[in-house]
Amino acid sequence: MKIITSPAKLMNVENSTDLLRTTTPKFIEEAALLQSHLKNKSPKYLSELMEISPKLADENWERNQKWKAKPTAKESAPAMFAFTGEVYRGLDAKTLDKNAVDYLQKNYRILSGLYGLLKPSDKVMLYRLEMGRNFEFENYKNLYEFWKEKVTEQLNSEMKKNEVLLHLCSNEYGKVIDRKKLNHPVIDFDFYELRDRKLKTIVVYTKHARGLVVRFCAETNAQTLNDVKAFNYEGYMINEEKSTDTKLVFTR
């Protein structure tokens, strides 16, 4: 089983771990190419591209100037520990034991607008480049055009026959995987909250739940879909009626 999530906008490269030996991202040359184009973009361009405030645009312009393909340990952190958004609060990697971290190193991957596809141990620097932004460079209209084939081929190369992909990313990031060319079944997830006797999707809870599922798989050494269906953290339970062969639905 492979598990995949989106990255997060919030990052902290002061986070580190003794449980992983850091590695270089598979697509570091591609990341360097993207950064060579980003580096030349003005704060105003970044503000408009990413719909962020001038202050945030200045901050990310500075990040782009400092970015390098071979950062020091102080300038970078392993991807699973560097991202700190809601998915990663659910995952809470810093409290996992060695067995759980080893499980994730083998089975878990993170999509990225800048780095393409990351292992938990891959060194990343502070950056901001969401996959869904219309960043045009060279002959590419956007990041999907640049990454789709590369990411899909890499997943195919890492996955064994009949291995399943647990798709715990947002639609924005999930679109970079070409399901027609992926040689493996994909399982989607929905998370619902019971409010006023109605099932509702609440985005922040969904993000948190995705991280909880990743954590659950690591802590229970999940190997099969039946193992994943047993997910029960923070009050969630499988909803068999709403679940299908290609989608698992959890409610609470």
pLDDT tens, residue by residue, 2-43: 999 999 999 999 988 889 999 999 999 999 999 999 999 999
Tokens at 128, concatenated: 């901001």
28 in Cβ contact with 191 (< 8 Å)? no
Using left for φ > 0, alpha for ψ between -120 and 50, and beta otherwise, residue 89 falls in alpha
Alpha carbons 200 and 193: distance in angstroms, whole number: 5
- Say what the pLDDT of residue 196 is: 87
The 3-state DSSP class for residue 244 equals: coil
Interatomic CA distance for residues 37 and 33, integer angstroms? 7
Determine the 3-state secondary structure of 42 from DSSP: coil
What is the Cα–Cα distance from 43 to 52, expressed in whole angstroms?
10
**pLDDT at residue 16, rounded to an integer:** 84
Give the β-pairing of 247-251 and 237-238. antiparallel
What was the pLDDT predicted at 79?
97
Against a cut of 0.75, is the pTM above it? Answer: yes
- CB neighbours of residue 121 within 10 Å: 20
What are the structure tokens assigned to 27, written together? Answer: 């697509």
pLDDT value for 15:
87
Helix (H, G, I), strand (E, B) or coil at 77: strand
Average pLDDT, rounded, for the chain: 96
pLDDT of residue 154 exceeding 90? yes
Q: Tell me the CA distances in angstroms from 202 to 20, 121, 214, one per residue in order.
A: 33, 30, 19
What's the average model confidence in pLDDT over 75-89? Answer: 96
Residue 163 pLDDT class (50, 70, 90 cuts): very high
Contact present, 25 and 110 (Cβ < 8 Å): no
**Do 215 and 156 contact (CB within 8 A), yes or no?**
no
With both helix axes pointing from N to C terminus, report the angle between 98-107 and 203-220 in degrees, rounded to the nearest 10: 110
Percent pLDDT > 70 in the chain is 100
In the numeric block, which tokens belong to residue 88?
């990663």
pLDDT category of residue 78 using cuts at 50, 70 and 90: very high
Residues near 209 by beta carbon (within 8 Å), at least 6 away in sequence: 90, 189, 191, 234, 236, 250
- Other CB atoms within 10 A of residue 252 CB: 16
List the structure tokens of 84: 């700190």
